[in-house]
Each structure stands twice: as structure tokens, then as C-alpha cells.
Structure 1
Amino acid sequence: MQFSDIVGQDAVRQLLVRAVQTNHLAHALLFDGPTGGANLALALALAQYVNCEDKQGSGTPTADSCGRCASCVKIQKLVHPDLHLVFPVANLSKGKTSEAYLTDFRKFLLTQPYRTLPDWLETIGADNKQGNISAEEARSILQKLSLKAYEGPYKIMLIWLPELMNTTSANALLKVLEEPPAQTLFLLVTNQPDKLLITILSRTQRVGVPAFSDDDVATHLRQHLNLDETTARRVAYLADGNMAEALHLSTQEGTDSEHAWFAEWMRDCYRQDLAKLVKQADQFDGFSKEKQKGLFDYSIRLCRDLFLWQQGAGALLRLPDDEMSFVKNFAKVLNTSHIERIVADLNEAAYHLERNARAKMVLLDLSLTFTRIIK
């Protein structure tokens, strides 16, 4: 991955290149950006640049790795011996550490770098298990960092979604961040920095990665998926800066199923159709854990859209026609206090779901509550 492969993000790119060129690169960088953003791609591009044997355009804003030397070729394939990848895995029979899933993760990233956790867990068949970075992973990290760099000037530890570390692994990372080995570069890629230990945040240099602009997303879709201008701009508008979402929408794998599920759920609650609500709870129980959480996240986002529409801020909404029509009609049924109550209940349900409450009971309880609210 070269910087030139990433559309937009010029300010962040120049910041990183300048830090390398002036020898002011911090030993630990926290790439903090939204889901579906360029944070992982930028981390990979930096890893390739620092170990490149023939850096191009030194001293210019367009400086980049050469993409041809032995180091670049290996990092592009994610097989460089000095590049160590750590990422969330599910507790499956295959193993509890990243090493067991490394081949799958390489294929996953090489397809395209704008990835999300649900995509990854679906790839490895996690079903209803959640992804996390375990204590065994922490011991593996310490073992890898005890070795010197094999080929390049830097030994690089790239950790994707460190917010999913448990307490033991987070404390182990904190210790090595406090006393880092020589010529070791930590690249932490996060979507939720508020879930990281404060002590980890204080020992890393934050690199703020903004969401893609609509123009950036449209350009990427035209170049990589050969979409026409009109389609690319429509998809970019709906994705609202989320490249992963844009790619899903482009292949018709977007939020259609989520909206259909939510709309049916709300209609059944409005009709107080208990038989259908019980059946829907059974169906919900069979979804993977990440899909269950994704449906709750979508429900909360749509409630936000309902609130904005009621407050006369419809111009801020970025919704397909069917979702916009649903928002306009459903807003007639609810008032502001109803929406506040629904969002509070959805957040509480998501909290219990994270802690492995039975999904069927969580949704059925929500459904019965909503039948009383939506009348």
C-alpha cells in the first residue's frame, strides 16, 4: 500500500511523511478515524514508507515509497518479516491469536483495505461470537518484540482495533509502550479511542484521520469499480464518507436488509402483533453477534434521522428513497419524548447484548416495551 493508492487525505499524508523525513516520528502512533475511513490504509502506507529502500520524492509533499524494492513488495503482500499484524479474533477451534488467522487476514486486507470488524468476523465464520484481542495475544506481542528487526530499519507492530483488547492484553501493551524496544514502531488503528485505556492514549501520538469527502469516495468508486459518474456520486452521498459502506452499496450489500428488518419490526410493534414479534425474536437470536449489534446501531441511527426530520432539519439526512419515505411516515406516529425513550432502550439493550445476554430475550423485551410506546 502506497500513499498514492489512497484517495484524498493529503494533510495526513504530508504530516506522516514530514515526521519521517525530519526524524521526528513518534514510536507509537494512534490512527484515529471513523469506521470505513482511511486509518488502516494510512497505517499500512506508513509501514511501507519507513522501511522502503528507495524512497521517492524526498523533501516534497508527494514523497512516497517506491513500490518496487524487496521491502515494498513484501509489505504489499503483508509478508514482510518485520511487519507484525495483530487484530481481533473470535474464540474458535482454530486458535485465539492473530497468528492462527494470519493467512485469512492477509487475503481479507489485500482485497481492499477499507474494512470493518463485522466483515472480518463474517469472513472467519465467527457466527454469534464477538471479536477480541486476548491475553494469549499479549504474550505473543511481547515475544515478537523481543526480537531485533530482521531486514528493515524498523520493526513494526500494527494493531487493528486495539479497543477490543481485554484488560490483561491492554496492560501488557501499556508496559511495552512505556519501555519500547529500539527501532520499534507501533501503529494502532482505532475507530473508538474512548474505549482505550487513558494511559495508552497518553503514550501514543494521535493522528486524526478525517472521513472521506463525497468527491474522494466517488473518485475511488470510478477508478476501482468503474462506476459511472452519476452512480458513483449517488453512492458517495449515501455512504457519507464511509468507504466500506460505499463499497457495500456498490455491490448491493448495503443497508437494504437492515432497513427492511427495522421497518418490519416497527410495524409489528405498532400493530401489537405478538405472534410476529416472537417469531422475529427467534430470527434475531439466530443472527451473528456482530449482525445483532449492527441492527441495533442502525436502529439508533434511524431514530436520530427521525428526530432531525421532526426538528425541520431534513436537509441533513442522507437516506435512500425508501428509508426517507419511512422516516417521513413514522415521524407522524412518534413525538420527541417517544424517540428519546426508544433510543435509551436501544442503547441499554446493546449494552446487555455486549455482555452476552440472550439475544431473543433482549429483543422480545424491547418489542413489548415499544408496543406500549408506539400507539
Structure 2
Amino acid sequence: MQMATTAFLKEVLQALDKCEAVTVYLLMVWKHTIGQEKTKNHLSYLLESNQVPHAQLFNSICGRGGLVLAIEFALKLLKVSEDLKEIKTLGEICQNPNLHFIYPVVKRGNEKLVYSSDYISEWYEFLNGMPYGDYTDWFDHIAVGNKQGIIGVSEIEKLHQSLYLKAFGGGNKVCVLWGLEKMNAAAANAFLKLLEEPPDNTYFILLCESDENVLPTVLSRCQEITLGPIEESALARMIPENQDNNLQLLKQSGGNYGKLLSLISDKEEKIYEALLVQGLRAAFKAKGNKNVVVDLMSWSNELALLGREKQKAFLRFGIQFFRDAFLKNYRLNELVHHKSETGFDMDKLAPFVQSENILELISLFEKQHYYTQRNANAKMMFAEMSLQLTRLINIPKPK
């Protein structure tokens, strides 16, 4: 097998050197996935040895490339061919009648039912422009406002009907389901039945950011693959040559290409940092000054007006922000990822994030993240958080 693979690659490279148009099955070529070499090798082995399980779960933070990898793997299972000399976007190559996509969506207008297929044009646009985007990016793209997309039971019922039809042209059918944790309970139970009795020649590639919110019985039917951070060497090749602070960007990205793009554009980090600094300033002023509570409530209302995905992104930013402040306080600067985009001086905050409050601060933001996932009342939740933040940030430093 190794000799055959080597010979295959030599033929491809020789043909490319001669500028010949070469069309090959994408068995060993991963054109769109950045890094993740270990996982690519594992998936290639499964393909070569004909040991692909009918259900796989890619446990991956969105920016690490799980969705792109899943799509490329699906195309290999479908034996889709691609001209190696032709450049196509991800959205273009995945338009295949045997490739089914499921992703979280919201109802538009007075619709009683909504399906992923209702958003298929937007989905292809998303894959073309933001294949390493997260749920926030997707919901922004389809302009859902403050709504939170889900995968409902009607979606799974429709999928069931589609997958039991004969594959177009024969061969395999593949379902790529992005956002498994967005599936409601009724949908999860219906989907479980589909996993237990899958149609012939059908493969499921599921993706989630965390398996904690996935039905355990669904997990038990899948072979799980966890994607780690993208290798720095692979990410480094994606940074524009004229970009300054390359090493700092790589460090801050944490192996997340979506975050790297965000850092280069500076947009989201600036917004979240400005919001958090606004809340911290109000929290410091509120000590012994009841009038400032109005500022805290104004801040919490501002957070409540964000869409849920942006609320969760803000809370994740806050967790990393306080960790970095704590590390700065104990002079572990080499471990600090934060680089202010608003001119905020973290050195001034660092002394207030110490051993007496760091665990509670992290826990506070983690709990709010959990409550947001559970659709808690945003106004009440952030109002309570602002008061708790005031108490914690004003805890006296240990003597």
C-alpha cells in the first residue's frame, strides 16, 4: 500500500510539473484543510483499509477546521474527483446530490417548519467565505438577530426520508451534521434511531464543539475524534507576508484559524475587550458608591442585547482575559496571550486578579456561558453577573 501511494503521488507531481490537467480521486489529497496532519493520516488510513465507521463525531472547536475536514472526508467517501490544477471553493465542490448537510437554523417570518435546505444558498456562501467560522459567524451570516438556531425533529424526519432513497448514480451517501449540540431533545432521540438502523452505504460525520451537551446514547453510537489546535507551522503559512507581529498572532490564536483571522481583522476582540473594560470600570467605581449601580445595570443591559452566540463568545473572551491578568500578576508573562486592541493596560488590572478571586471569576463566567446555552433570561443573568463581578474584583489582595 505504501509503495502504491508513493507511486500515485509521483505521477501526480510529474503531471503537475508538466502543467497537464490531472483529475484524481481525493483519496490522499487534502486541498482545503489547514494542518491537522495526524487526523488526516488517520482518516486516510481508514479509507485505504476500508475501515470507515458508519458514524463519526469530530469534537472540534470550530476554528480548528473540523467542518472543512469533515467535508473533504465526505467527498472522499463519495469518490468525488477534482482537477488538481483547478481552484474551486469549498462551497463549489460540495454541491453533490449524495452529500447532505444539516446545521442549526431559525424560522423566518411565519414559517411553521424550517429546514437546512431552506438556507442552502447561504450555507454555500458561508463555506466559500468563512469555512473556519463558528456558530456566531453563521448566525450573523443568516441575520437571525437575537434568536438561537437549533436542529429540530422535523429536520431529522426529513433527513430520514432522504437517506432511505437510493443514492444518485449508486454508491455512498454522506450526511455532514454541523452543530450536534444544537439539536433539541426530540431531534436527538429521532436521530438516535437513524444511527441505530442506518440505511445501506450511508455515513454520518457529526461535529460539535463540546460533547458535554450531546445525548450520551448518541455519543455511544459514534467513533469520536478530537481535533487539537492547528499546528503553528501550518497557521504561519496563512498569515499575510506584510502582517506585523506574526509570532504574537500565532500565540494569541491558540491554533484556531478562525481566531487568527479575527485577530488580523481586529473586529471582535476590540468589541469584547471594550465591553469587558467598561464593566470592570463600573465595578471598581461601584465599591461604596450605590449610584454607580445604574452604570452596572446599563452595562448588563448592553450585554443582554447581544445575540446569544455573541454573548457566549464574550464570556469565553472574559475567561481568557482574567486568566491572562492572573498570569501577569504572578509575572508569568511568557504564558500570556492577551494583546490589547483598545489601548487597555492589563498591568494595572493584574494586581486585582489574584489567588483570592481568580477561581470564582472564572467560575462566574463559565456559569454564565452555561446558562446562556440553556436560554436563561439574559437581562436577569447579566444583571446578577455584574453584581457578582463587582464583589469579586474588589476582594482585598492577600497580605
What TM-score comes out, normalization by structure 1 length? 0.87
- Go from structure 1 to structure 2 and tell me whether the alpha carbon gap of 1:351 and 1:339 turns closer, same or farther (over 3 Å shift): same
Q: Is the 8 A contact 1:77 1:110 kept in 2?
A: no
Residues 220-369 of structure 1: pairs in structure 2 closer than 5 A: 220-222=238-240, 227-228=241-242, 230-272=244-286, 273-321=292-340, 326-369=345-388
1:25 corresponds to: 52
Residue 86 in 1 paired to residue 113 in 2? no
Distance 2:285 2:129 in 1: 44
Bigger mean CA offset, 78-87 vs 195-204: 195-204
Residue 196 in 1 paired to residue 253 in 2? no
Q: Is the 8 A contact 2:89 2:128 kept in 1?
A: no
Q: Is the 8 A contact 1:7 1:219 kept in 2?
A: no
Distance 1:124 1:194 in 2: 26
Q: What is the deviation of 1:248? A: 1.6
- Go from structure 1 to structure 2 and tell me whether the alpha carbon gap of 1:220 and 1:28 turns closer, same or farther (over 3 Å shift): same
Q: Is the 8 A contact 2:322 2:353 kept in 1?
A: no
Cα RMSD (Å): 2.6
Q: Is the 8 A contact 2:173 2:203 kept in 1?
A: yes
Distance 1:67 1:196 in 2: 38
Distance 1:344 1:105 in 2: 35
Larger CA Rg, structure 1 vs 2: 2
2:166 corresponds to: 148
Render the CA deviation track for 1:341-373: whole Å, top value 9, x for unaligned.
223333333333333333222222222233333
Q: Is the 8 A contact 2:91 2:124 kept in 1?
A: no
Q: What is the deviation of 1:251? A: 2.2
Distance 2:89 2:293 in 1: 59
Q: Is the 8 A contact 1:115 1:244 kept in 2?
A: yes
Q: Is the 8 A contact 1:52 1:66 kept in 2?
A: no
Amino acid at match of 1:201: L
Amino acid at match of 1:346: F
Render the CA deviation track for 1:241-282: whole Å, top value 9, x for unaligned.
110011122223241111111011101110112232222223
Amino acid at match of 2:352: V
Q: Is the 8 A contact 1:38 1:211 kept in 2?
A: no
Amino acid at match of 1:368: L
Distance 1:36 1:43 in 2: 13
Distance 1:324 1:318 in 2: 15
Residue 184 in 1 paired to residue 211 in 2? no
Q: What is the deviation of 1:231? A: 4.6
Distance 2:32 2:263 in 1: 21
Render the CA deviation track for 1:213-237: whole Å, top value 9, x for unaligned.
2221121234xxxx43645444222
Bigger mean CA offset, 310-319 vs 20-29: 310-319
Residue 172 in 1 paired to residue 184 in 2? no
Bigger mean CA offset, 96-105 vs 232-241: 232-241
Q: What is the deviation of 1:318? A: 1.3
How many residues are treated as equivalent by the alignment? 359
Amino acid at match of 2:250: A
Fraction of identical pairs, as percent: 26
Distance 2:342 2:90 in 1: 45
SS of the equivalent of 2:357 reads helix
Alignment match of 1:52 (pick from 67, 79, 95) = 79
Residues 90-129 of structure 1: pairs in structure 2 closer than 5 A: 90-93=106-109, 95-129=113-147
